[in-house]
Structure 1
Amino acid sequence: MKNKNKIIAIALLASFSLSALGTPIASAAEKSTPKEEVVYVNLNDNGSVKDVEVVNIFNTDKAGTVTDYGNYSSVRNMNTTDKISYSNGKTTIDASKGRIYYEGKQKDTTIPWDISIGYFLGGKEYSADEIAGKSGKLKIKIKISDNKDSDDNFYDGFALQTSVTLDTDKCSNITASGATEANVGSDKQFTYTTMPSKGADIEITADVKDFEMAGISINAVPLSLEIDVDDKELTDKVSEMTDAITKIDDGAKSVNDGAGELKDSVKGELKDGSVQLLEGAEDLKKGASELKGGTVQLKDGTVSLKVGAESLDSGISSLDTGIKTVENGLKQLNEKSETLTGGSAQIKNSLITIQSALGGVSLSTDKLAELSSASSQIKSGISQITSGIEQLEQNTSFQAYEAVMAQNGLDVESLRQSNAATAENITLTITSLQSQVETLKQVGFDTTELETQLAGLSQVAQLLYANNLCIDGTETYLNQINSSIDELLAGAKNLEEKYEEFDSAINELVDTVGNLSYNVSVLADAINLLVESYGQFDSGLNEYTDGVATIVSGFNKISSGCITLTNGSKELYSGAKLLDDNTSLVVDGAASLYSGTDSLNMGAKSLDEGVEKLVDGAEELQSGTAKLKDGTKELSDKTDGLDTEISDKIDEMIDSMTGSDVELKSFASEKNTSVNSVQFVIKTEDIKVEEPEEPKAENKEELSFWQKLLKLFGIE
């Protein structure tokens, strides 16, 4: 009965020790598994191994011999009085039926993990004995790594659970990154779990006062978990991703083909169009320069016409004044004729005076010839003006303008058609390029500069349309001027016709005055005769008055013609001034057109340079899409079957994490081939302020650690 109680107490003791360390003890082995191992490792304060003890546990269905292996310096039966013997690494127990525990103390203290522990206060490292009872800013560093001198089977297959317990009465402001924190009475327990094949690098800080702490414990158990991962959803998503990658690869091929077409289009039609536009702009600039020169010549001609018309108007005004003066004199003379015929009595009395006066009258034929010659010159001048206006009419029409431009190498109609065709081509090109720009945007190409060039190209098209409007306006304007010149020409011809009548009147006047000279001579003879014969005098006097009336009548016609001539000259001057003013507008328009063609030329050059850059960009785009296509092809090839690989990799990772692919071995000896479980209990001593030593009783037996535990439970 006492023996049975002892076995129960030992089992409870082992269970308590393991639960206190934070690692549950393994359940009783199945009948087919004859052995379990619990490896107790006592560490020094710096983490080095002090000693290693292996507790071997057997279940026996019946009494018999238990054989076990291990390199021990000593062995001890822990729960029975069965005979145990050890020799050359072999332990033999004459076991009774039931559960048997025996302890073997390892000769070799090598364990699968290298463990180092450091205590720092104020940046200075202390040993456990030195730091006990101190106060300040504490830092505890624990580093666990693979011991290359040990069998990796345990490092790769066992998980670690490291526990550090701190008294909150002595420790505050605790930081323990990555730890699981638990309250254990007034203590705080910080637990770190390390997976198989992984090391640990732990750091804990705290503000401490009169520092003490329980020992650090590290439990190691094989991590063999039954994990059933349903990765179907993941592999389905991966399959969707690989399908999407395939579509991306197909899209990359399409993008590459589109980039090739874009490059060919840009290199072909757009480049040809920009070259044609540049050439057209050069031609347009040349034509505008010639038009500018022609309008300057036209301006010089209209200025000369205006000056001539102004001089003619001034001369005709002077002529009109002189004619009116002569006309007034003749009217007065005609009015005096009535007095001459008033009464023969007065005439008779005045005959001698008249005879004397007529003797002093001299009508010079030279003056009459000068008058006739001057009138002929005026007539010739008016004829020349009419001829000049006719030439002006011929030279100011739009057809004449086109002829002048053609003589200078510019076909205005062809230019107008070329402008319209080029503007239409540019508009079509812009429409085509805009859709391509949208395509470039969709593939991430920066199209800011290209859009700026397209805006400039649109302005070029608008300028070409404006140039045609300018040509149309020039045609309308010149036709309007031509129409005005037609009216001027009609006035000039009317003037010429009226002056023909005036000139005829002048000639009649000359003839009349010439006749008058003759008649005056006759009159003188008549007066001489009148002295002798009153009747002859009366007849001569009547002839005289009739002659005066004829002169007055002729001068009336001259005056009327002069008025028409004056009005015509004023119309001629007004028309010449209007033509000069409008020609100034033509000159300004031609200068603006030339300036515009210069801007057009610069814009065409910028467009051509932009097209060159676009060609380079299209080639780079095609090169990039080719690389993209190669990359997506490589990505598609490498992701083919990725769902299967991921599923296999997940299984592999789970096996690696859980240690399920590691075969369980005996730590004590590889000769132990039937091992159900192995676990490690690793611990440091508590850090405590040393109590003053009490005098030792003489001959008092020194108890071991396990003897103290047994005594604690009342087991002798």
Structure 2
Amino acid sequence: MKFKRTSAGFAAFLLAMPTLLVSAETQNTAEDNAEAGEGTFDKKTEVVYATLDAAGDQKDLYVVNNFTVSNFGEITDYGDYTNVQNLTDLTPIEQQARQITLNAQEEEFYYQGNLENRALPWDFDISYSLDGEETDADSLIGQDGKLNIQIDSSKNADGEELFFNNYMVQITMTFDAEKFKNIEAPDGTIATAGKNRQVTFTVMPEKEESYTVSADVTDLEMEAIEIAAVPSSVSIDEPDTTEVKEEMTSLSDATAEVNNGVGELQSGIAELNNGTASLYDGSAQFQDGITQLSQNAGGLIEGSSSIQQALNQMSESVGAGVGDVDTSEFSELPGAFRQIAGGLDEVGTGLTNLSGSYEQAYHALDQAIAGMPEHHVSEEEIAALYESGADEATVNKLVESYQSSLAVKETYRQTQEAFAAVPGALSGSTGALGEMSGNLYSIADQLESGLAASNMDESLGQLQQGLATLAANYADFHSGLNEYTGGVSQLAGSYSELHSGLGGLTGGTDELENGAGELYSGTSELASATSELPDQLQEEIDAMLSEFDKSDFEPVSFVSEENENVESVQFVIKTDSLKKEDDETSEVEAEEEKSFWDRLMDLFN
């Protein structure tokens, strides 16, 4: 009985003790409030706690305010709280409308204020699909299949824009590794935390993002999605770009040199094109002369044959006797010889003019090709130019023009001997024609003088002998003339191919000049663009630093703009977890199974 009385008394004491303690504490704090003076604090922090449902819709919101007190006493704070609660001691907190009055007697003082109808700075839209079919979160619990979760983070039009523009948001999802396999998060970071896998996404200030997570799930249950938002106030140091700028400067200098080289190449190709055009014009004149000479060769041979027949007939007639000779035919011979000689002179004059035009065109071509730059560009340098980021089409034109210029110079080197031999051949042909013409003029003069001074009756023997000699010599001349005209005809036929080739060369050099002009325009643009690369790089870096460096951000209160000395505001947000109801029911039942004493002792634990 004594034990029972003692137990009953002890129980009564335990039941009464909290009331006594609270009464004493309340009385002391009431007296302290009556005597408290004005307090001060160095800084204030706010941690905003919010709960969302599994789809991301906002539910509850409260703020834990922390003051670092410098002088104990009465402190005033502001906020549209539905209710407030002292988290530091049992001192009551007075609330009149938006004004909160508290008596801070600790260096670190905490109180909680609940908010309603206050929007977060961000909207979070969370959607779920299982095996490709979208479904609500609660229906997923206990299911198996291919799970896909999409989280869209965007600006809340009703929220405070200042936090959206300056805060970095971190979204963390925790998955039981035994239930979730083959987790994929393309834009997230996957880490191991004990037997769980954590997927983390980061949303930068002023950004709206969409993230997805997929996994093979068995008997689906999922922990709450945790979201934290903190100021992105870490100062970003400007990177050292000295080496990169030096490389860009080298690239800029290289493209400038390439542009200058292409300019010289364009000038050389222009000169080459002018030279080939002149060469083609001279070749056309030469071809016309050769063709005309070839066309007239038949008449020349026919006339020479007539002369040879006439000489033979006259020689035979004189040998047969004076009475049978028609001396009137002798007077026609000098004119015929001079006519042939005149034709040969015209041909010689044409060849002389052709030789002059050819030498002028050949000289222009030789100077143009000699003036083309002989820069050697290695395969490594060409590869480096492709890798420099320059326009690929422009680089292709540059390489093609460079290779074409090398091909032109090599082709000319191989054929230069043939080009150089043409003036000599033309000069030799002109000399041969001149010699033949001179012989014909000499024969005509001698024949004419002989006819004027001779007594035909007394000199028939001498005349017959001279005619026989002339006929024999003319046969040799006629044979040589046959060979010459045959060579001219062959030359005319072959030269047409050469002239056609020169036409193709002229067209090619003209196209090459146009391509070089386009190439020079492209390299000029490239040189101009690369010359600004270092400055453009610095501008991009400055823009990036300006976008992400929020080190100049000054915190303000989430609750009220009247609050002062706010050092930081943080957001801690959680969604509902997806758990089976049996677990929650068992926890409630376990709580109900506790005895009165267990629950009473829990108050002191």
The TM-score, its normalising length taken from structure 1, stands at: 0.59
State yes or no: 1:654 paired with 2:593: no
CA–CA separation in structure 2 for the residues paired with 1:628 and 1:712: 87
State yes or no: 1:417 paired with 2:352: yes
Alignment of 1:628-667 (within 5 A): 639=532, 643=535, 647=538, 650-651=541-542, 653-667=544-558
CA–CA separation in structure 1 for the residues paired with 2:150 and 2:165: 23
Deviation for aligned residue 1:590: 3.2
Task: Name the residue aligned to 2:573.
Answer: 682
Counterpart code for 2:363: L
Task: Provide Cα deviations, 1:213-271, integer angstroms capped at 9, x if missing partner.
Answer: 211111111122133325461695399479849x93x98689779968976x6897775
1:113–1:712 Cα change, 3 Å: farther
Gapped regions of structure 2 (runs ≥ 5): 1-16, 19-39, 378-396, 442-459, 594-598
Deviation for aligned residue 1:628: 7.1
CA–CA separation in structure 1 for the residues paired with 2:587 and 2:557: 44
State yes or no: 1:79 paired with 2:79: no
CA–CA separation in structure 1 for the residues paired with 2:237 and 2:107: 37
CA–CA separation in structure 1 for the residues paired with 2:191 and 2:367: 72
Contact kept, 8 Å, 2:268 with 2:373, in 1: the verdict is: no
Alignment of 1:460-475 (within 5 A): 465-471=424-430
Counterpart code for 1:682: I
Q: Given the alignment, which residue of 151, 158, 161 partners 1:149?
A: 158
Between Structure 1 and Structure 2, the one with more helix by share is 1
Task: Name the residue aligned to 2:101.
Answer: 92
Q: Given the alignment, which residue of 398, 404, 407 partners 2:343?
A: 404
Alignment of 1:226-241 (within 5 A): 226-231=235-240, 233=242, 237=246, 240=249
Task: Provide Cα deviations, 1:265-320, integer angstroms capped at 9, x if missing partner.
Answer: 689777566545544543454344334531343245557878999xx7xxxxxxxx
Counterpart code for 1:97: E
Task: Name the residue aligned to 2:292.
Answer: 286
Task: Provide Cα deviations, 1:619-667, integer angstroms capped at 9, x if missing partner.
Answer: 786688579768967986xx49x74x86576455334313223321111
Task: Provide Cα deviations, 1:504-545, integer angstroms capped at 9, x if missing partner.
Answer: xxxxxxxxxxxxxxxxxxxxxxxxxxxxxxxxxxxxxxxxxx
Task: Provide Cα deviations, 1:368-395, integer angstroms capped at 9, x if missing partner.
Answer: xxxxxx9x9635599999x99xx79x95
Contact kept, 8 Å, 1:171 with 1:209, in 2: the verdict is: yes
Counterpart code for 2:295: S
Deviation for aligned residue 1:71: 1.4
Task: Provide Cα deviations, 1:548-588, integer angstroms capped at 9, x if missing partner.
Answer: xxxxxxxxxxxxxxxxx9xx99x999988876655543342
CA–CA separation in structure 2 for the residues paired with 1:72 and 1:582: 127
Task: Name the residue aligned to 2:320.
Answer: 378
Task: Name the residue aligned to 1:295.
Answer: 301
Gapped regions of structure 1 (runs ≥ 5): 4-30, 313-373, 483-498, 504-564, 702-709
Deviation for aligned residue 1:158: 1.0
1:666–1:255 Cα change, 3 Å: same
State yes or no: 1:585 paired with 2:483: yes
1:182–1:233 Cα change, 3 Å: same
Deviation for aligned residue 1:143: 0.9
Task: Name the residue aligned to 1:167.
Answer: 176
Alignment of 1:441-452 (within 5 A): 444=398, 446=401, 451=408
Task: Name the residue aligned to 2:381.
Answer: none
Contact kept, 8 Å, 2:268 with 2:369, in 1: the verdict is: no
Task: Name the residue aligned to 1:595.
Answer: 493
Alignment of 1:508-657 (within 5 A): 582-596=480-494, 613=510, 639=532, 643=535, 647=538, 650-651=541-542, 653-657=544-548
- State the secondary structure of the residue aligned to 2:82: strand
- State the secondary structure of the residue aligned to 1:205: strand
- State the secondary structure of the residue aligned to 2:126: strand
RMSD: 5.5
* Percentage of pairs with the same residue: 23
State yes or no: 1:59 paired with 2:68: yes
Contact kept, 8 Å, 2:286 with 2:351, in 1: the verdict is: no
Deviation for aligned residue 1:120: 0.7
CA–CA separation in structure 2 for the residues paired with 1:124 and 1:607: 70
CA–CA separation in structure 2 for the residues paired with 1:432 and 1:152: 73
Q: Given the alignment, which residue of 29, 33, 50 partners 1:41?
A: 50
- State the secondary structure of the residue aligned to 2:242: helix
State yes or no: 1:105 paired with 2:114: yes
Counterpart code for 1:197: E
Contact kept, 8 Å, 1:129 with 1:687, in 2: the verdict is: yes
Task: Provide Cα deviations, 1:146-194, integer angstroms capped at 9, x if missing partner.
Answer: 1122221111111111111111211111111132221111111111222
Deviation for aligned residue 1:678: 1.0
1:435–1:39 Cα change, 3 Å: farther
Deviation for aligned residue 1:712: 13
CA–CA separation in structure 1 for the residues paired with 2:496 and 2:537: 68
> How many pairs were matched up?
520
Task: Provide Cα deviations, 1:425-475, integer angstroms capped at 9, x if missing partner.
Answer: 2221112222455599999384859959x9699777765654445455667
1:196–1:78 Cα change, 3 Å: same
Alignment of 1:478-493 (within 5 A): none
CA–CA separation in structure 2 for the residues paired with 1:695 and 1:272: 104
Contact kept, 8 Å, 1:457 with 1:607, in 2: the verdict is: no
Task: Name the residue aligned to 2:393.
Answer: none
- State the secondary structure of the residue aligned to 2:164: helix
CA–CA separation in structure 2 for the residues paired with 1:257 and 1:580: 56
